[in-house]
Chain A
Amino acid sequence: MTDQPTAVRLARSLGTAVAASAPVALPEGPLAAVLVPAGAALAAWWASPATVRRPVAVTFTRRAQLVRHRNTALAVGCVLLSALSTPPIWAAACVTALLLGYLMCVDAAAGPAGLRQLRSRWVPAAAHTASALVLLASYASVAPSGWGRIIAALAVACSAAAVGLALWSRRSDQG
């Protein structure tokens, strides 16, 4: 069974792995092949350990803010690196699974709520299934048309609205 210290240890491995694999499909060249993954892995080695301190800001310098939100910065950085290329589907699946696993490990290390989600049978399965479905749909061959991006934007907007409604229903409950 996964516990909090295990999640803390796993977070560094997963974070480094996802950072190293994010730029996997960059164009050929020594810079893309070695330097970018190595640099990303090094940065991830520092940033990936889960933040277990209380979320209290002592100073508001940029460096302090970066240290405090380094897990989020790492995840966003990996997304940015991934956005530079379109990898083969297996590489995209690896990046997606690793990023999701990293986020869940960081959540589990931060508190009991994330730990409960990680231990749950169906929450990780639901998240991975949703990602897999979206990934498969994105790689499905469709006839190119000008409507594709508009439909995708609508889908994203609907998803964002669903998330917002789920959160808003709780917030409105409090008044």
Chain B
Amino acid sequence: MRATHRTGQIDRSLHGTPRDRSLQGTPSDQADRRSVVRALGPAPASTPAALPAEPPPHWRASERALRLATVSAVAGALALLTGRSWLLALAAGPAVLLILAAAGRSRPARFEARAQIGRRRAFEDDTIDVRIELSFDGVVGWVDPGVYAGPGIELGSLETTGTTVELRLTARRWGRWSLGAVDLDVYDRGGLTRRTVRVDLGEVQIFPTPSQSSLTPVQVRLPERIGEHTAGQSGEGVEVAGVRPYVWGERQRRIHWPSTSRRGTVQVNQFVAERTADIVVLIDAFGDFLDPTDGTSSLDETLRAAAGITRAYLRSHDRVGVVSVGGSTHWVKPGSGAAQFYRLVESVLEVRRDLGYHVPDIPRLPRPVIPADALVYVLTPLGDQRILDVLHDLTERGNPLVVIEVPTGDPELDPNDTLADLALQLWHANCEAVRFTLRSRGIPVLGLRPGEGLDLALAPLQRARIRGRNR
């Protein structure tokens, strides 16, 4: 019998050769895939496995112990019942295996598991490294991890080295998700009993991956703050707007000598002012439409496009704010800087949580939410009538508006329904009528197309500056 150890250790004799260890998870692809499949359990890969009930806080018989004991007991009982004594030979072997595996007094009584999460904030498709260290006060045979990943989280790889389990998780969808939990099945030396230690991995914030965008179209009227966009009026920028007669006191280096010699009086260069822009991205969260062809979520695309627009304008040192309308209205006042980007994407994580069937009527947006003359990008699938009311409110205020229509795909048609084609045509006509109404009010309506960049959608805005309604 082995004496109880003060510090936990794993029985190295159970992991004798490197080939054995590969089965627990080493860099080899095949072994890694096998360990991932085993850790995920029998649930289909497409759906996250439901977290089972809290494991019992005591040792319980393993499958191996149950198997050997059952065979031995059934063979012994049948020998006695039927009088065929040779059946006792079938019982003897498993019984000996049980006795030999049961030798020892080394099972731990206390466990402690610590999880280290690489990062709690990440973007879509980023990997999150998790390291779990198990400590105990005895000797265990092996540690068998089971992973119950949270929604939107995928298990990429798993490596078990002694009592340390390292996971590599990948976040597939933006949102505030639970990372899930890991059940560590700890077996005794003989593999006859096991105990489960559950480790909760906590929550992570997954930000939407910004769409690639570099264009920053601006409105006609820009606020009186120095920035990077050329304004309509003259100022202290670097772009030459023309020449004008010299006024006493002006810098001599601005004299435009060709014009001076041609006109006979001193002429100086005239520059245009460079101003910053106020941008507000308005997110339509009245609903989430899934494209029937590829299952793309309109809300996901909306958030990615919003993040792309936000990042492009913040790079130009503009002030950007976000408003989401849906179950409830959230907003972040316009600001600039790298930190503002994270404030904005963090604020939109609540959008999905607010989705529901009961959506209250949206009152008028509060005045401070959208500064005067701010350019408002409205990202919407145009699938809900209430967004038109919001657009009407914004038009009344005189803010320059750009509507970016997020694609939702055509609804699936029932081949047996003779009126389906007609209904689809009516639906298309209704969508076109909505677009026509908006354009007739002077609001440009741009369309995002699947697989195309955001710049391509915004390109028509580069022709001229965006005008708001005159007040």
A23 to B189, CA, bound (A): 36
The segment from B74-82, B114-122, B296-304 found at the interface with A is B74-82
Q: Are A113 and B80 closer than 8 Å at their CB atoms?
A: no
Known: A113-B189, A152-B79. A53 touches B38 (CB 8 A): yes
Judge if B187 is at the interface, Cβ distance under 8 Å: yes
> From B82, which residue of chain A is reached at the shortest CB distance?
A83
Task: Find A76's partner among B74, B76, B102, B188 (CB 8 Å cutoff).
Answer: B74
Closest chain A residue, CB of each to CB of B141: A113
Min distance, Cβ B9 to any Cβ of chain A, angstroms? 15
Separation in Å of the B365 CB from the closest CB of chain A?
Answer: 48
A40 at the B interface (CB under 8 A): no
Say whether B19 contacts A3, CB under 8 Å: yes
Assess whether B5 is interfacial by the CB under 8 Å rule: no
Contact A156:B80 (CB < 8 A) given known A112-B142, A163-B95, A173-B105? yes
Q: Is B444 an interface residue (CB 8 A)?
A: no
Give chain A nearest CB distance to B248 CB in angstroms: 88
A10 contacts the other chain (CB 8 A) = no
A134, CB-defined interface residue at 8 Å: yes
* Of A30-38, A41-49, A92-100, the one touching chain B: A92-100
Could you tell me the distance between the alpha carbons of A160 and B183 in the complex, rounded to whole angstroms? 33
Residue of A nearest to B68 (CB): A103
**Bound form: Cα–Cα A171–B60 in Å:** 9
With a CB–CB cut-off of 8 A, which chain A residues contact B290? none
Contact A51 to B99, CB < 8 A, known contacts A4-B23, A80-B74, A113-B189: no
Complex: chain A residue closest to B189, CB-CB: A113
Q: Is the CB of A135 within 8 A of B100?
A: no
Say yes or no for B431: interface residue by CB 8 A criterion. Answer: no
A162 contacts chain B at the CB level, 8 A cutoff: yes
Rounded to whole Å, the gap between the CB of A63 and the closest CB of chain B is 13
A-B pairs with beta carbons under 8 A, tally: 214
In the complex, chain B residues whose CB is within 8 Å of the CB of A54: 38-39, 41, 144, 146, 185
Main secondary structure of the interface of A (DSSP, over half): helix
Give the chain B neighbours of A163 by CB distance below 8 A. 69, 72, 95, 98-99, 102
A143 on the interface (CB 8 Å rule)?
no
- Say whether A159 contacts B89, CB under 8 Å: no
Whether B80 lies near A173 (C-beta < 8 A) is no
Roughly how many angstroms separate A166 CA and B16 CA in the complex, as a whole number? Answer: 26
Question: In the bound complex, do residue A131 and residue B90 qualify as a contact, i.e. CB atoms below 8 Å apart?
Answer: yes
Given contacts A80-B74, A80-B78, A153-B80, contact A96 B42 (CB under 8 A): no
Tell me whether B320 is interfacial, beta carbon within 8 Å: no
Decide: B92 and A130 in contact? CB cutoff 8 A: yes
| B90 x A79 contact (CB < 8 A) | yes
Q: A53-B38, A54-B39, A111-B141 are in contact. Are A131 and B97 (CB under 8 A)?
A: no
Q: Is A134 in contact with B109, judged by CB distance below 8 angstroms? A: no
Within the assembled complex, what's the spacing in Å between the Cα atoms of A100 and B144? 25
Chain B residue nearest to A133 in the complex (CB): B92
Q: B123: CB under 8 A from chain A?
A: no
Whether the Cβ atoms of B100 and A117 lie closer than 8 Å is: yes
The 4 closest A-B CB pairs, nearest first, are A113-B191, A112-B14, A135-B89, A138-B85
Q: Please, could you name 17 A-B residue pairs with CB atoms under 8 Å apart, sorted by A? A: A53-B41, A57-B52, A72-B71, A76-B71, A86-B84, A96-B90, A99-B71, A100-B93, A103-B67, A103-B93, A117-B100, A119-B16, A131-B93, A149-B83, A152-B88, A160-B76, A174-B59
